[in-house]
Structures are given as C-alpha cells and as structure tokens.
C-alpha cells in the first residue's frame, strides 16, 4: 500500500550530514549509537519520546504515598492497552504511550496487544531483563524440522557478539552446558530459594530437565562503573544505582560521551527520504512531538531501531514511486511473518511442607528461574503434535495469602501466614507464518497525522498444541517437586502479550523472499538498515532482546568496515 506524502513544507533543521541516523534509543538503538560513534562516525539518535531524568525513578516509593495506591483509574482511561503489561503502573504509566494518541487497528476476530514506550531508552526502561542466547537449533530450525527458513547466519557467526554484549551489559547467570541454551559470559548467578533448589533437584533427577536461575541483565557485582543490585524489587520503575541494564545508563551514555553523537528527543520519524536517482536513503523526516513542526535531517546511512512493528510502519509510510508497496519492499515480504512468543500456559501450586513466612521487609529478587527447552531437540525424539519447543520462567517463594477466605482476626492471620507458592509459565516458539502480518491502516492516523498500523495475528494450531503440552509438563514438574493444590492453565494469552514481537522485515539470503541480509541491511537500498527484532527469521522460545543487541553489534561492525572502505 502506498502511503500519502504530507504536503506540509519540510523545513531543514540543520546542514549537518551525519554518517548515521539511528531511529529509536532502546536496547538495539543504544548499541548502534555506541558502536558507530565510538568508531568515530557522526551519529544522530532520533527518539520519539522525552528524556526521563533519574528524579522520576520511584522504585523505593511505597504505594500509600501515591494518590491511588497503585490502583489509579487513569490507566484505564489513557492506557487501556498498555495497562495489560505488569510493568505499567500508577508510578510510571506516563513512560508508556498514551493509547488515545497512538492507535493501531486489528480485525475484530484477531485481537493483538501492542505494548510500547516512547521515552529515551524505549522499552529497555521497563524490560523483563531475561537474557538468553539462541542456538543453531533456532538459527537452523528449518533444517532441523523442515518448517520455514533457516537464518542466513549460524551460531558461530553471532557467538562473539553474544560474548561482547554480555560482557558489557553484565548478565548474571549460571552455565549449564546445555546445547539448547548456549552458555555465556556471566556474572555470578543470583541465589535460588529453597523451593527452586528442590525444583531443580527433583526435575533433574526424575525428568532429566534443567532448571537454572534466570539469566538476567542485573548486576550481582559492581560492573563497568555500575553498582550491584540492592534487591528492592521493581526495576521497571527505574534504578538509581543503574543495576539493571537500560540504554540511557549504559550504551547511550557511552555514545554521548564519545563526542560523536547527538540525541534529539521528541522527534517522531514519519518517513525516510530517498535520493531516487542514486537509490540511496538521504535522510529522514520527523515531527516534533510537542510543536508538530516538521524537520528533515540528512545522513549517509539510516538505521531503524524503532522496534519491529514501528520500524516496519516507517518503511511502509516511506513508500515512493520506485517502492510503491513500502520502502525496501520489492520482495513484498515487509510486514509479513510477525511473531510473538506463545505465553499464558503453565501451572502453579503450593509447597505445603515449607513453613517460611513472607515479610515485606525481605529482599526482593527481581528474577526467577528458567527451565531450558526439552522438546524436539537435535538428535532427540520428536513430539507428535507440534514442532519447535518452549522454555519456562517462574519461581517459588513465600507470599502473602490475600485471597484467604473469611474475615476478622483469622483472615488477618491467614494473610500474614501466607503460602509458599510455586509457578511455571511457558514461553513457546511462535512459528513464522505469512498470514500473520501488519500493514498501514487505510484510515486511522496517530495524533501526529502519521498513518497507523493494522495488525493481523493469531496463534496457530502448533502454538496451541505446544502450550497444552507446556501446561501438562509444568504440572508434571510441580508434582515431581512435591507441590500440592496444583492448578493448570493451557489457555494462550492474546498475541502481543509476550511483548516479544519480531520478524516483520526478515533476514534472508534471497532478496525475493526477505527484506534484510545477514547484516540487517535492506537488500533493496544499500545504506538502509533495520537493526531491531524485525530481522528475526524464527522466534526461538528465548527472550529476544539479547539477540537483538548482539545482531546490532555485529551489523554495526560490518557497517563501520564499509565506512572505512568508503563503500557507504
């Protein structure tokens, strides 16, 4: 679909021609800006949202000091979609987009939830921080089971960049020697609770599966000038000690310190500008979020790191006569193969033999456990009902029993006596399917007049069968651990709810079947890149951010080399 070009006269903001414009300042944008600016390239970061000063961090503010003790009705009014994310609260909802200003559409029978932040740092401000490598079981999944396409790169190509990113970010975790989840460069692991240790032991003994502590981008010792975690709990409200990884405290800080990088906040990129004669991108147009004035900035290369769907939207909205179906979309693949992990299924129960009590003064570990994929492994048996696999996240700890029945003294005592809970939630691979896609909505526009996205996505029979198995497997493992009162859920959450959307500008060797090459460069336009999750060919079942960062780092090294050879 061809987007209409605005008729507002474009006003050039500056004569400067940057080497690179990075659109988006989250996990991948931060890496692109850091790598390129530290290599001496002149970089401009454009971020659609505002800066968040540390004075807005509220991780230590008790709920009773808030107007509505974290039950604010304001979320239902202006963040009816965003509030589905556990991290969107009365403390920080203004970091999430206002849904009234940032609409998207879906067919009635295909609900999709799109969780977004528009602030400097993007979703890295509130991300779940779980950091897992993909393996060749993922990169070469099509060769393994015949479905879909392999990535145009292998684990060996990306492994050094996983190392680089992990060393810089500071991932705490434990090496397990399990080929389905490659080991990494870890800081000391966080401790497990009694329930989790028992789960690890029993599941290993009885079922041969690996329960490990979550590999998380939270420091367990001082690292690169940042202090270790002090276990207050709610990372998503900011961290004054910068103990969890977010781009403003790390990559963006380094980029800005290089002296080669500018950052313009409140700059909503509406489209990429082309030099049609040269078939090169020459810059981008953005709208100032507050004044609504329009600016054009020029660069020798353009790198989209706006988040998979948002980057795809920019490419669609940049359609030209040469690329009528969206920029860099000669293949017709742009927007297709949208993936988001299948989540929602799992099981929970109680460890009734444990008598530890919860206390609000206990340290709060912002991490859980992880169970490494055990279905459809290389050389192992194949499940008859689904391909690919899933992992689990979860935990076991004492908690208060607010749901206790009754009233009076006994209720008060029951709340405090609490329960020792245990729970496992599956994260399943989402298959890349042509009919899961996004396009530009023919009518709807956002508050800045930019055409909005229309998202079409459902989970298919493979995801449903996989999550049913995940629920049963979770119950089996809880049973093996000695849990009681086990309750299962085999229902999938709405697509988008994992907030792991990837795949809408996929990589590939064949320009007719893919948008990007293995260096995140568009096949069609030599100086246009998409370095966020849009390039994923398959989703694996691991949380995607670590891989996005490693791919961005890898592709930036390649781009730096091309600059050195004057190829850009």
Partner 1 sequence: MKRRELFRRSVLGSLAAAFTSVASGRPALSNPEAREFPSGHDASKELARSDWKPTFLDEHQNRTLTDLGDLIIPKTDTPGAGAAQVNRFIDHLLNAESREIQSQFLDSLAYLDGACRERYGSAFIHIPKKHQVEFLNLIAYPHRLVNWGDNRSEFPGHTHFNNLKDWISRAYYNSEAGMKELGWSGTSFHGSFSGCEHPEGAHR
Binding site for partner 1 (CB under 8 A): 50-56, 58-74, 76, 94, 190-198, 201, 222, 225-227, 230-233, 240-241, 266, 353-355, 358-365, 400, 402, 405-409, 411-412, 415-416
One DSSP character per residue, 427-458 reads EE-----TTSEEEEEEEEE-TTSPEEEEEE--
Buried b (16+ CB within 10 A) or exposed e, 281-316: bbbbbbbbbeeeebbbbbbbbbbbbbbbbbbbbbbb
CA distance 239 to 223: 15
Which stretches of 220-349 are DSSP H helices? 251-257, 308-316
Q: Which is nearer to partner 1, 1 or 232 (CB)?
A: 232
Q: Shortest approach of partner 1 to residue 231 CB, angstroms?
A: 4
Which stretches of 258-368 are DSSP H helices? 308-316
Q: Which is nearer to partner 1, 147 or 400 (CB)?
A: 400
Q: Shortest approach of partner 1 to residue 164 CB, angstroms?
A: 23
Q: Shortest approach of partner 1 to residue 218 CB, angstroms?
A: 11
Phi, psi of 291 (to 5 degrees): -80, -20
CA distance 292 to 312: 22
Q: Shortest approach of partner 1 to residue 196 CB, angstroms?
A: 7
Query: Burial of 76 by CB count in 10 Å (0-12 exposed, 13-18 middle, 19+ buried)?
Result: exposed
Q: Shortest approach of partner 1 to residue 243 CB, angstroms?
A: 10
Q: Which is nearer to partner 1, 290 or 381 (CB)?
A: 290
Q: Shortest approach of partner 1 to residue 455 CB, angstroms?
A: 27
Q: Which is nearer to partner 1, 12 or 359 (CB)?
A: 359
H/E stretch holding 200 reads helix 194-207
The token pair at 29 is 């944008």
Phi, psi of 80 (to 5 degrees): -60, -25
Distance of CA 256 to the CA centre of its chain: 23
Q: Which is nearer to partner 1, 10 or 61 (CB)?
A: 61
CA distance 264 to 119: 11
Q: Shortest approach of partner 1 to residue 192 CB, angstroms?
A: 5
Q: Which is nearer to partner 1, 402 or 434 (CB)?
A: 402
Of the candidates 49, 42, 77, 132, the one whose C-alpha atom is nearest the C-alpha of residue 448 is 49
Q: Shortest approach of partner 1 to residue 441 CB, angstroms?
A: 27
Q: Which is nearer to partner 1, 63 or 461 (CB)?
A: 63
Q: Which is nearer to partner 1, 93 or 139 (CB)?
A: 93
Q: What share of the chain is helix, strand, coil (3-state, %, to 5)?
A: 25, 25, 50
**Kind of pairing between the strands at 11-23 and 43-46:** parallel
CA distance 349 to 483: 6
Q: Shortest approach of partner 1 to residue 180 CB, angstroms?
A: 25
538: CB partners within 8 A, 6+ apart: 138, 139, 141, 142, 148, 149, 151, 339, 429, 431, 432, 503
The token pair at 297 is 């900035």
Q: Which is nearer to partner 1, 96 or 316 (CB)?
A: 96
Q: Which is nearer to partner 1, 219 or 315 (CB)?
A: 219
SS3 142: helix
The token pair at 468 is 């049913």
CA distance 559 to 552: 10
CA distance 444 to 452: 6
Q: Which is nearer to partner 1, 480 or 552 (CB)?
A: 480
CA distance 523 to 238: 39
**Cβ atoms 148, 506 nearer than 8 A:** no
Q: Shortest approach of partner 1 to residue 222 CB, angstroms?
A: 7
Q: Which is nearer to partner 1, 241 or 279 (CB)?
A: 241
Q: Shortest approach of partner 1 to residue 425 CB, angstroms?
A: 20
Q: Shortest approach of partner 1 to residue 359 CB, angstroms?
A: 4
Q: Shortest approach of partner 1 to residue 465 CB, angstroms?
A: 32
235: left (phi over 0), alpha (psi -120 to 50) or beta: alpha
**Cβ atoms 32, 301 nearer than 8 A:** no
Q: Which is nearer to partner 1, 362 or 567 (CB)?
A: 362
């Amino acid at each position: 679909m061809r987007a209409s070009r605005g008729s507002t006269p474009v006003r050039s903001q500056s004569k400067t021609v940057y080497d690179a414009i990075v659109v988006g300042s989250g996990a991948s944008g931060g890496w692109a800006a850091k790598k390129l600016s530290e290599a001496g390239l002149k970089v401009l970061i454009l971020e659609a949202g505002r800066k968040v000063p540390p004075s807005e961090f509220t991780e230590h503010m008790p709920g009773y000091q808030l107007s509505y003790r974290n039950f604010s009705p304001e979320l239902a009014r202006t963040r009816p979609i965003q509030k589905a994310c556990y991290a969107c609260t009365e403390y920080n909802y203004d970091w999430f987009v206002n849904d009234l200003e940032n609409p998207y559409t879906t067919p009635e029978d295909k609900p999709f939830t799109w969780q977004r932040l528009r602030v400097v740092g993007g979703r890295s401000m509130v991300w779940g921080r779980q950091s897992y490598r993909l393996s060749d079981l993922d990169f070469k999944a099509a060769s393994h089971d015949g479905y879909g396409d392999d990535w145009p790169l292998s684990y060996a190509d990306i492994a050094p960049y996983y190392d680089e990113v992990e060393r810089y970010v500071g991932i705490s975790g434990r090496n397990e020697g399990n080929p389905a989840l490659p080991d990494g460069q870890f800081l000391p692991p966080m401790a497990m609770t009694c329930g989790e240790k028992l789960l690890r032991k029993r599941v290993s003994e009885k079922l041969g599966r690996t329960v490990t502590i979550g590999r998380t981008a939270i420091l367990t010792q001082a690292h690169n000038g940042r202090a270790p975690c002090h276990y207050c709990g709610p990372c998503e409200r900011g961290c004054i000690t910068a103990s969890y990884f977010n781009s403003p405290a790390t990559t963006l800080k380094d980029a800005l310190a290089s002296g080669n990088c500018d950052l313009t906040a409140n700059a909503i990129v509406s489209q990429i500008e082309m030099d049609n004669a040269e078939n090169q991108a020459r810059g981008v147009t953005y709208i100032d979020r507050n004044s609504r004035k329009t600016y054009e900035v020029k660069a020798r290369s353009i790198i989209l790191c706006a988040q998979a769907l948002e980057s795809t939207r920019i490419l669609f909205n940049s359609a030209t006569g040469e690329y009528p179906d969206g920029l860099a979309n000669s293949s017709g693949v742009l927007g297709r193969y949208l993936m988001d992990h299948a989540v929602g299924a799992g099981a929970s129960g109680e460890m009734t033999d444990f008598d530890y009590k919860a206390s609000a003064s206990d340290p709060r570990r912002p991490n859980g456990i992880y169970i490494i994929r055990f279905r459809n492994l290389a050389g192992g048996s194949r499940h008859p009902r689904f391909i690919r696999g899933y992992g689990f996240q979860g935990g076991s700890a004492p908690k208060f029993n607010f749901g206790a029945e009754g009233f009076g003294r006994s209720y008060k005592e029951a709340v405090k006596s609490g329960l020792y809970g245990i729970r496992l939630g599956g994260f399943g691979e989402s298959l890349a399917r042509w009919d899961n896609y996004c396009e530009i909505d023919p009518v709807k526009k956002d508050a800045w007049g930019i055409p909005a996205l229309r998202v079409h996505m459902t989970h298919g029979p493979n995801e449903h069968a996989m999550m049913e198995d995940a629920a049963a497997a979770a119950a089996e493992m809880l049973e093996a651990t000695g849990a009681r009162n086990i309750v299962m859920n085999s229902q999938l959450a709405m697509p988008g709810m994992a907030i792991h959307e990837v795949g809408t500008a996929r990589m590939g060797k064949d320009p007719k079947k893919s948008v990007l090459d293995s260096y995140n460069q568009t096949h069609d336009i030599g100086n246009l890149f998409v370095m966020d999750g849009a390039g994923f060919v398959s989703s694996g079942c691991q949380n995607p951010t670590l891989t996005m960062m490693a791919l961005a780092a890898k592709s930036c090294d390649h781009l730096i080399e091309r600059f050195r050879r004057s190829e850009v």
